[in-house]
Amino acid sequence: MLHILGRANSFNVRKVLWLCDEIGLPFKREDYGRGFRPTNTPEFLKLNPTGQVPCVIDDGFVMRESHAIVRYLAAKHAATALFPADLQRRQHIEAWMDWVAYDVTHSMRGAFLGGQLQEPPWNNPWFVAQGRKDLTDQMKLLNDSLQAGGPYVLGATFCLADIPVGLVVNRWFSLKDLERPDYPALAAYYDLLTERPAYRAHGRNGLP
């Protein structure tokens, strides 16, 4: 059975949990990471040299990096509605996933780690302000894209990219002390995702 190492409240572990529930993939999970078992031990670092969660083991095959893990699992279990074989559609899915991993993650350092959790060094005021501005710009980009071609990230149907993007949108609506412009397509997307049981379990579940 698939073995997930990582705490269930981790943003990146939640992507894997959401996918597993979405496609009905059974798994066992062990709590590792902040507040649980340490990830800086030689045993864990042998599995994942970055010392981060999630780390996922599939029948002895060890994986790290949440986006690469969900792509592997979707492809392996032929979840073609979420991650089709068509290379051009795949490219668009992966582009949105990379956008989350790069542009959005950078802005979240200031907006979330600094602004909300007050974690040094991200809580430097200029960095928080810059992160909030960048995140707001990214959410406008997403809102405009959803408005033009939604209701999901890639159009009419839910796909693999909606998993990381959906987690980002949940965090956006959970951020405190942030002036959120009115982005109607984004709000509609948030409500649409909330119809999915797996999103209510791992995405919009009270955690930012």
Q: What does the block give as tokens for 76?
A: 């392996």
**Is 18 an interacting residue with respect to ligand GSH (CB under 6 A)?**
no
Cβ 174 to ligand GSH shortest distance, Å: 15
Residue 178 DSSP code: -
Residue 12 contacts ligand GSH per CB under 6 A: yes
Say whether residue 96 binds ligand GSH (CB under 6 A). Answer: no
Distance CA 2, CA 125 (A): 42
Residue facing ligand GSH at closest CB distance:
33
The window from 9-17, 80-88, 170-178, 180-188 that contacts ligand GSH (CB under 6 A) reads 9-17
The 57-76 contact track toward ligand GSH, x by CB under 6 A, reads --------xxx---------
Q: According to CB under 6 A, which one of 2, 5, 10, 97 is a site residue for ligand GSH?
A: 10
* Residue closest to 125 by CA, chosen among 180, 77, 177: 177
Part in contact with ligand GSH (CB under 6 A); list of ranges 22-30, 33-41, 118-126, 133-141: 33-41
Residue 43 or 195: which CB sits closer to ligand GSH?
A: 43
Could you tell me if 9 and 174 are in contact, meaning their C-beta atoms sit under 8 angstroms apart? no
Indicate whether 138 belongs to the interface with ligand GSH (CB under 6 A).
no
Nearer to ligand GSH, 40 or 91 (CB): 40
Cα angle value 12/118/14 (rounded, 5°):
15
Per-residue CA distances from 72 to 37, 145, 183, 198 (Å): 26, 27, 33, 19
CB 67, min distance to ligand GSH, A: 6
What six digits make up the tokens of 20?
């597993």
Task: Say whether residue 165 binds ligand GSH (CB under 6 A).
Answer: no
Indicate the residue among 11 and 83 with the shorter CB distance to ligand GSH: 11
Helix (H) or strand (E) holding 62: strand 61-64
- Phi-psi region at 60: left, alpha or beta (left = phi > 0; alpha = psi -120 to 50): left
Distance CA 93, CA 82 (A): 9
Say if CB 170 and CB 208 are below 8 A apart. Answer: yes
Q: Is 34 in the site for ligand GSH (CB under 6 A)?
A: yes
Q: Which residues bind ligand GSH (CB under 6 A)?
A: 10-12, 33-34, 39, 52-54, 65-67
